[in-house]
C-alpha cells in the first residue's frame, strides 16, 4: 500500500498527501520574426504568396472547367484533373497561409486563466473587446496591408469554382420555361395513345371538355423531349355559352364562339388541372384544390395558386379545324423568379 492511501473502516479511500504542483507555463521562445523586422516582412511576403497561390488555383479550376467540356471520357478526365488541382491549390493556399501567419506573426504567448461563472461581468466583456483590439494590433491584420489584401483576394476568388460547378449541374434552361411548341396555325388535336386527331369547332358541344395537345408534337422524335414538350403544351378545350364569358375586350378574339383553351398545367406546382364543373364553370386542381373560374379568364378563386391559367388564343382555319394563333403570351406552369423578364 502506498503512502498516499489509508485504510478506512468503510473500505479503501485515497488521501492525497502530496498533491501535484502546478508546473506553470514554459518559458516563451522568441521567434526570428519577433527579433527581426526583416524576417517579419519576409514571412509576410510568404503568406501573401500562399494566398496568391490560392487565387491562381481558383482561376485554374475555372479554366479547366471551360477548357475541357465533358464530351468524351478523355475530356472528363482532364476536366476532373485540372479542376481538382485548382481547387486543391485554392483551398490549401488559404489554409497554409493562415497557419503560417499564425505561427510567424501572430502572438504566441501562452495564457492561463482561472475559470469563472457562465455570466461574464461587464468589466470582463469590456476586457474581451480590448483583447480583440490588442490581438488585431499584435497580429498586424490592420497594419500589414499586403497580408490583408491578399487574404481578401483569396477568399473572394476561392468560391468561384464552386459557383461555376453548381451553376452547371443541369442543362441551361434559357427561355424553355417561357416557351412551348405552340405556333400560329398549329392544329389542336386530341390527346390519345393512338395519335391525336384534329378537332373541328363543330365537334365541340356546349359543356364538353377536350384534352388537347399540339399537332406538331408528333414531329419530335426523341421520346424524352416529346414528353417534356407535352408537359408544357397540354391544353384544356371547353365550350361554354358565350353569354357566360367575362371576356377582356383585348382578348375577345382569343376564343371562338364560346370555345376557349387554357393551359392544363396548374400555376401552383404544375399538377394537371382536369376537373371541370359545368354549371359553375370552375376548373379544379386535384393536388391542392386550387380553383379557377373558366368564365373569367381562369382567375384564381380558391387555393394556393398565385395567378390565372394562361390562355391559348385559338381560331378556325379554312377547313373548320381549331388552330392556335400563336404560343402562350406568358409562361405556363408554376411561377418562377424571372418569369416576367423577357
Residue 198 within a domain:
yes
> How would residue 342 be classed by pLDDT, with cut points 50, 70 and 90?
very low
Q: Assess whether 143 and 230 both reside in one domain.
A: no
C-alpha separations of 238 from 205, 273, 288, 328 in Å: 9, 13, 22, 17
Q: Assess whether 162 and 197 both reside in one domain.
A: no
Q: Assess whether 101 and 147 both reside in one domain.
A: yes
C-alpha cell at 149: 489584401
Residue 94 within a domain:
yes
Q: Which residues does 252 contact at the CB level (< 8 Å), separation at least 6?
A: none
Structural domain of residue 270, as residue ranges?
Answer: 188-324
Residue 301 within a domain:
yes
Q: Assess whether 128 and 212 both reside in one domain.
A: no
Q: Assess whether 291 and 240 both reside in one domain.
A: yes
Q: Assess whether 197 and 102 both reside in one domain.
A: no
Q: Assess whether 219 and 289 both reside in one domain.
A: yes
* Overall number of domains in the chain: 2
pLDDT digits (tens, 9 = 90+) for 38-65: 999 999 999 999 999 999 999 999 999 8
More confident residue, 194 or 318: 318
pLDDT at 140 over 90: no
Q: Assess whether 153 and 239 both reside in one domain.
A: no
Residue 12 within a domain:
no
Q: Which of 175, 194, 226, 191 is nearest to 341 (CA)?
A: 175
Residue 261 within a domain:
yes
C-alpha separations of 283 from 32, 44, 165, 266, 292 in Å: 80, 70, 42, 10, 5
pLDDT cut 70: percent of the chain above it: 86
pLDDT digits (tens, 9 = 90+) for 301-333: 999 998 999 999 999 999 999 999 999 998 898
Residue 229 within a domain:
yes
Q: Assess whether 157 and 220 both reside in one domain.
A: no
Residue 241: phi and psi, rounded to 5, are -65, 125
The reported pLDDT for the residue numbered 118 is: 67
Q: Assess whether 149 and 225 both reside in one domain.
A: no
Q: For the domain that residue 281 is a member of, what is the CATH number?
A: 2.102.10.10
Whole-angstrom distance, CA of residue 224 vs CA of residue 293? 33
Q: Assess whether 44 and 153 both reside in one domain.
A: yes
pLDDT at 170 over 70: no
The reported pLDDT for the residue numbered 168 is: 64
Residue 194 within a domain:
yes
Residue 263 within a domain:
yes
Helix, strand and coil content of the chain, in percent to the nearest 5, comes to 40, 15, 45
Q: Which of 159, 218, 228, 225 is nearest to 187 (CA)?
A: 218
| Residues 274, 267, 195: CA angle, nearest 5 degrees | 45
Q: Looking up cell 476561392, which residue turns up?
A: 158
C-alpha separations of 275 from 179, 206, 222, 238, 287 in Å: 25, 16, 30, 12, 11
Q: Assess whether 317 and 208 both reside in one domain.
A: yes
Amino acid at each position: 500500500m502506498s503512502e498516499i492511501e489509508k485504510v478506512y473502516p468503510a473500505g479503501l479511500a485515497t488521501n492525497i498527501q502530496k498533491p501535484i504542483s502546478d508546473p506553470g507555463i514554459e518559458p516563451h521562445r522568441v521567434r526570428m520574426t519577433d527579433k527581426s523586422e526583416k524576417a517579419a516582412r519576409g514571412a509576410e511576403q510568404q503568406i501573401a504568396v500562399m494566398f496568391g497561390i490560392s487565387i491562381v488555383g481558383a482561376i485554374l479550376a475555372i479554366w479547366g472547367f471551360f477548357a475541357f467540356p465533358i464530351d468524351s471520357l478523355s475530356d472528363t478526365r482532364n476536366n476532373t484533373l485540372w479542376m481538382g488541382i485548382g481547387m486543391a491549390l485554392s483551398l490549401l493556399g488559404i489554409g497554409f497561409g493562415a497557419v503560417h501567419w499564425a505561427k510567424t506573426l501572430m502572438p504566441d504567448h501562452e495564457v492561463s486563466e482561472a475559470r469563472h461563472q457562465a455570466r461574464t461581468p461587464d468589466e470582463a466583456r469590456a476586457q474581451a473587446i480590448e483583447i480583440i483590439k490588442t490581438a488585431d494590433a499584435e497580429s498586424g491584420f490592420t497594419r500589414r496591408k499586403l497580408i490583408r489584401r491578399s487574404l481578401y483576394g483569396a477568399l473572394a476568388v476561392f468560391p468561384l469554382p464552386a459557383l461555376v460547378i453548381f451553376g452547371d449541374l443541369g442543362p441551361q434552361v434559357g427561355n424553355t420555361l417561357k416557351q412551348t411548341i405552340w405556333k400560329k396555325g398549329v392544329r389542336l388535336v386530341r390527346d390519345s395513345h393512338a395519335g391525336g386527331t384534329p378537332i373541328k369547332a363543330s365537334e365541340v358541344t356546349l359543356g364538353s371538355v377536350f384534352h388537347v395537345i399540339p399537332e406538331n408534337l408528333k414531329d419530335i422524335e426523341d421520346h424524352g423531349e416529346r414528353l417534356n414538350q407535352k408537359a408544357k403544351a397540354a391544353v384544356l378545350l371547353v365550350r361554354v355559352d358565350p353569354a357566360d364569358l367575362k371576356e377582356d375586350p383585348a382578348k375577345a378574339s382569343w376564343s371562338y364562339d364560346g370555345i376557349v383553351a387554357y393551359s392544363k398545367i396548374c400555376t401552383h406546382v404544375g399538377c394537371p388541372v382536369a376537373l371541370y364543373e359545368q354549371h359553375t364553370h370552375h376548373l379544379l386542381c386535384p393536388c391542392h384544390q386550387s380553383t379557377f373560374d373558366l368564365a373569367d379568364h381562369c382567375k384564381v378563386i380558391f387555393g394556393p395558386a398565385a395567378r390565372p391559367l394562361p390562355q391559348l388564343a385559338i381560331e378556325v382555319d379554312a377547313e373548320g379545324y381549331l388552330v392556335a394563333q400563336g404560343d402562350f403570351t406568358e409562361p405556363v406552369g408554376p411561377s418562377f423568379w424571372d418569369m416576367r423578364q423577357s
